[in-house]
Amino acid sequence: MKLLHWWSLCATLSTVVGAPQSGVRPLVLWHGLGDSHSSPGMMDFAQRIQVIHPGLFVHSVYIEEDLAEDRKAGFYGNVNEQLEFVAAQIAEIPELQNGFDAIGLSQGGQFLRAYVERYNEPPIHNLITFGSQHMGVSDIPKCRAYDLLCLAARRVARSAAYTEWAQTNLVQAQYYRDPNNLETYLTANHFLPFINNEISEQRNETYAQNFASLNTLVLLIFEDDRTVVPKESAWFGSEQPAEDIKTDNSQIVFRPQRADNIIPMRSQPLYTEDWIGLRQLDERGAVVFDACNGEHMHMGDCWERIVRQYVGGPF
C-alpha cells in the first residue's frame, strides 16, 4: 500500500464549493463494502455535504490509491494493518490536526470506531455510523448479483471464517461473530473481540477512555436491512445464542433463531460492565439512535438532517 499524497485526494473533495473554512471541524469519510474512496457515489456524497456546509474540508479514507484496488481492499486484507495505515494517513493531513467529525458507511463505521479506540490522534469529535456492524454479523454480508469479487470472498468466509488464513486475509471474517460459537470467536477472531474489549484478560482501558471522549456517537440503522445480520448490530445489538430445549422425551433440540431474538445494547455485557466506554457516553446523553427507511445503505435523504446537526460545527 503506497501512501497517496493527501492533497491530491482532499483537494478534489474540499474545493468543490470553495476553499476550506477555518474554525469549522473538517470531515473524514470511510466508505463501505464494495465501494472505493473516490467512486462516483462517494464523490457525490461529499459534494452534497459541502452544499450543506460550504467550504467544509472533506477527506475520504483510502487503503489503495487505485480505485479498483481500494474496492478490493474492502474484501481482502488485514483490518488491523489497514487501521494502522489509515491512522498514519490521517496524521499526515494538516487540516485534520485539531480533530474532525467522521462518517462511517457500513463496515467503515466500526473501522472508524476502532480508530477512535486505538489511535484518536488527531481526535474524532462526532462519530456517525450508517448501518455498521458494531457487534459483528452472524452471517457474512450478502452480495449484489454478479458481484464476483464479493461472492468469492463471501463463499470462502462462510466456510472458513475462523481459520488463520481467513482472519488474516478476509475483511468480513474479521467481524464475523457466531452467537453459537463465542468461544471460538473469542480465541480465533483477530479484530472484533479486541475493539469490543470482550477478552477479559486483554481488556485495554485506553480503548474505553478514548471512546468515551467522543462528543457524540450517532448510530443509524436501516429499518429494512437484509444485508447485515442482525441489522441491530448497527445499534450494538446482537443475536442471542440458540437455546437448548428439552422435549418431553428429554432429547435436546435447538431452537432456530428468530428475528426478534436480539440482545439490545443496554443489555450487552459490553455496555453493563462498560468495557469500551459506551455506557459512559450513553449516561451523559451522547449516544443518538436514529433510523433510515429502506434496505442497507439506501440512504435517501435521511443523512441530511444528521449532517446538518452533527457535522461542520465549530471547534
Contact 216, 123 (CB under 8 A): no
Cβ count within 10 A of residue 181: 15
Contact 51, 17 (CB under 8 A): yes
36 is catalytic: no
Contact 195, 118 (CB under 8 A): yes
Q: Kindly name the residue from 35, 70, 225, 274 that is annotated as catalytic.
A: 225
Identify the bridge partners of residue 101 per DSSP, sorted by sequence position.
27
End-to-end CA distance of the chain: 33
User: Based on the number of CB atoms within 10 Å of its own CB, is 86 exposed (0-12), middle (13-18) or buried (19 or more)?
Assistant: buried
- Strand-strand pairing, 244-246 and 252-254: antiparallel
Q: What is the DSSP string of 231-259?
A: GGGGGT-EEPPPPEEE-TT--EEEPPP-T
Dist. CA 210–CA 116, nearest whole Å = 6
Whole-Å CA distances, 189 to 3, 167, 292? 28, 6, 30
Q: Kindly name the residue from 14, 36, 38, 106 that is annotated as catalytic.
A: 106
The grid cell for 196 is 469490543
190 is catalytic: no
The grid cell for 216 is 457524540
35 is catalytic: no
Residues acting as catalytic residues = 106, 225, 296
